[in-house]
Amino acid sequence: MSSYEKSLLRKRLLEIRSSLKEAEKDSLSEKIKQNLFGLTEFKSASSILFYASFTSEVETFSMLKETLDKKRCFLPKVFKDELKIFEIQSLSDLNPGYCGILEPVTKREVGLEEADLIIVPGLAFSRDGGRLGYGKGFYDRLLTKTSSMKVGLCFSCQLTDKIPMNQQDQKMDRIITEDEIIYCTIQSYREVPIDK
């Protein structure tokens, strides 16, 4: 699938997301948090991989604050072209790292398989579970190593009809916005036999 198509979509969706005002972003993030906390699989998970939000992403620190004393919380850190996962005990276990994003101190590395639920950031999502990232493929590479539930968080303005997906792009199982919890279905298709 054309990477040109993806880059056009990235530019457009980044502009849309960046146009959200700070206060609006915070109140939408709060609703997304409530929707996430209501998700059955979130409630039953004992360990969660979060991401540390930066710039215009759905805010996750308030989610982390409320979860830290209830469940094991993990965050990713960039090492060259891969993400490694570390457990944190408090928000003071974070330092600015790759691109200024807060990253965990490297004391307690954990295997991705230890995360019962994985929260995934994105620039755009489609209802069938498609995801567009910043174009580095970090999460595509990471998510090949797990079969745990993947939950994309986004504002509803980031939902789009179709995201160009290739074989390496990893799909979400759920997408949570301020308005809804989307159960992503795998789009299956049936080949129509050619008439002789």
Binding footprint of Mg ion on the chain (CB under 5 A) = 140, 169
Considering the complex, what minimum distance in angstroms separates the CB of residue 123 from ligand ADP?
7
The listed partner (ligand ADP, Mg ion, none) that binds 171, CB under 5 to 8 Å by sort, is: none
The listed partner (ligand ADP, Mg ion, none) that binds 102, CB under 5 to 8 Å by sort, is: none
CA distances from 81 to 9, 77, 148 (A): 23, 10, 22
Considering the complex, what minimum distance in angstroms separates the CB of residue 163 from ligand ADP?
9
Pick 128 or 140: Cβ nearer Mg ion = 140
Considering the complex, what minimum distance in angstroms separates the CB of residue 166 from Mg ion?
8
Considering the complex, what minimum distance in angstroms separates the CB of residue 137 from ligand ADP?
2
Enumerate the β-bridge partners of residue 150.
118
Pick 27 or 144: Cβ nearer ligand ADP = 144
Considering the complex, what minimum distance in angstroms separates the CB of residue 33 from ligand ADP?
24
Residue pair 51/76 in contact (Cβ under 8 Å)? The answer is yes
HSE toward the beta carbon, residue 158, CA cutoff 13 A: 32
How many CB atoms are closer than 10 A to CB 148?
Answer: 20
CA distances from 11 to 19, 97, 102, 111 (A): 12, 24, 24, 33
Pick 169 or 173: Cβ nearer Mg ion = 169
Pick 134 or 183: Cβ nearer ligand ADP = 134
CA distances from 173 to 2, 97, 119, 127 (A): 24, 29, 10, 10
Residue number closest to Mg ion, CB atom: 169
Residue number closest to ligand ADP, CB atom: 137
Residues that bind ligand ADP (CB under 6 A): 6, 132-137, 140-141, 144, 168-169
